[in-house]
Structure 1
Amino acid sequence: MRHQVCIIGGGPSGLLLSLLLRRAGVDAVVLERRSRDYVLSRIRAGVLEQGLCDILREAGVGERMDREGFVHDGTIITAHGTTVHIDFKKLTGKSVMIYGQTEVTQDLYQALDRIDAPVFHEAEDVAIHDADGDAPYVTFRHDVQQHRIDCDYIAGCDGFHGVSRQSIPQAVRREYESVYPFGWLGILSETPPVADELVYSGHERGFALCSMRNANLSRHYLQVPLTDTVEQWSDEAFWTELKCRLPSHLAETLVTGPSIEKSIAPLRSFISEPMSWGRLYLAGDAAHIVPPTGAKGLNLAASDVYYLSRALIAKYAGEGQLLADYSATALARVWKASRFSWSMTRMMHQFPAEGAFLSRMQQAEVEYLANSPAAQTALAENYVGLPY
């Protein structure tokens, strides 16, 4: 079979890229290793930058988000006895949207279904061939049969462990990585959020985050050692520790309940350069990973898709410069957003091996933030999303 663009990876970035291309008349196909039900069962972040919201509206999938999502005009940062309200709207004129990644993915699936866009689920043994030549193709196994897709371009949206980045020769790519000495224990519970906005709480026992999916569904996180397991953490133990790490006025109002999902995620910062090789272009987690502290994972993938979709559409219209510049353009924003996620992680978490000096520096950082409109503006600008 032949398609103009073969997209490897059927998460939100791959589905969004397919939808944007098809709306512009570019023939795209998606290959996804997992089943559709599995993709929709993933529990992921739900803080959407204004840029991502605009892209979803442009793709025709923003109606339910605008109807059911929660607009947040700020966030709360508390640590070392200091609490700061960062007023996004006042400082930048922008907001963020709370709308779960699962809901975004569902909306994208439904839009692709309406136009009969091809998505192969449970595509196994995906392999990229001749990406550095003029006639790339992708092979895979589906329903026991072998398939081959001849294409003009390949988009690697298949995540950190996918085949796409590994298809770029080691001599070509350069990888930068920082692995953090802790993870995030997260639970999902059918409880109301502790506050109207997200709460980032630094504490001597470790970081905590109070987030939400909707008015009756909350997502909470605790910094835990990498040696911890989910089985070590009962619901009662989680809620007790969360209350300990929150300011008293929030701990007293926290509503607890049984968890409906519980997991531990390791944290890393990772960037691979370049984000293109021949006719292969990387997007999202295939090229970069950020710690979730700054809510940038899905949003960075969306900015990649923004650049790549426009570059491919322009190429088919006879203008190739955007595609030639894609890697450099995307990486410029990736590094800035990664810096923000890294700095937020450093400011809010405990790093026991680094001793008391870092703790006092974190205290000074939060105190400076509380008293500096310029620092608050810088944080707000990064949180709501740097311009594309």
Structure 2
Amino acid sequence: MKKYNLFLVVFLLSFTLLGFNVNSASAQTSGSGGGGGSSSLPAGCASTQGYSPITGVKCDTIVLEYLPEGCTSTFGYSPTTGIKCDNGIYTSLPVGCTSTVGYSPVTGERCDSLTFPPGCNSNQGYSITTGRPCNNGAIFPPGCASNTGFSSTTGQSCGSNSNPTITVLSPNGGEQIKKGDTYRIKWESKDVSQVYIKLRKGNGTYQGNEREISRPIYNQGYFDWKVPTTIPDGNDYGIALVQEGGNRFDISDSHFTITTSSTQPSINLQVNGSDFPSAVEYGSVIEASWGSTGIDISKTECKMGGHYVPTIDGWLWNDQTNQKPNGVVKLYARHATLGYISPLSLTITCFDGIKNYYDNVSITVKQPTT
């Protein structure tokens, strides 16, 4: 009978130890397939024995860390959400979520929203409002510990039902930004605690690797952007400023330009090869030419203005519209209806879809002799 009791004790002890190891192994492998978790020891613990000298928690506590939905590692982008796979490590899931996939059935927020306990902005140290360790998981949905401060999951004020707002200030359209420079992005907002910034091109998100200007950051009203040198030149860029964990966003009102050169876009009109041509004989043939710098020729149209000066092919200078930002026209040095006028004025205005570029030339005409 004693041998039987001894065998039973040994069996139960072995089963208990084996069960603990199985649970630990299960926690360690749950990250496969994307949006799952992997286990780690509490901060300060080298093994599962004893207590952490940093946090005081038992070292056999399993701490789960979750990757963003669709990711199996911290490299690249999620095939399901498009966010970067190193876009945060999730030490606790939103209320109602059992993984980072989908939405919470309790709060309706995304299950891959980054959530920390009240009073914590990371999983390190202790909460400044509750004193609890920040790696114990969030317990107050949806990100508020009281009626003060802001929600860590929605960005809304915990003390009101105010409507969060975001407004892009710059770049908001028409700016000239040089690649390699540091450009300060600015915005105004209300009741928003965190934001992230995306690069746009045309009418949607830029599809290159540089589309992520910033990961979620605390809202300071500005962000210093080191403009990548790998972005193609173009005049149809914009930004999208998005509330992290919420549904508020704003985009640039119109397009801005990203270019390799610091030279400002311009159009240049000349007569007889000069910005300040010499006086010409009345009725003589003159040559007007124009060209552009830093302007996207494929998207730019020009029109002529000034005096009604006849061209040698029977048209008028003012008749010319939908012209490219480079060309040559030969004219007679006289007014089409008034005859002698001095000086004659020629202008050109080009529009590239964002702004107008303008230049003009005055031509002194010698008075005809009778």
TM over 0.5: no
Higher helix share: 1
Larger radius of gyration: 2
Please give the TM-score of this superposition, normalised by the length of structure 1.
Answer: 0.20
Which structure has more relative contact order (CA 8 Å, sep 6+)? It is 1
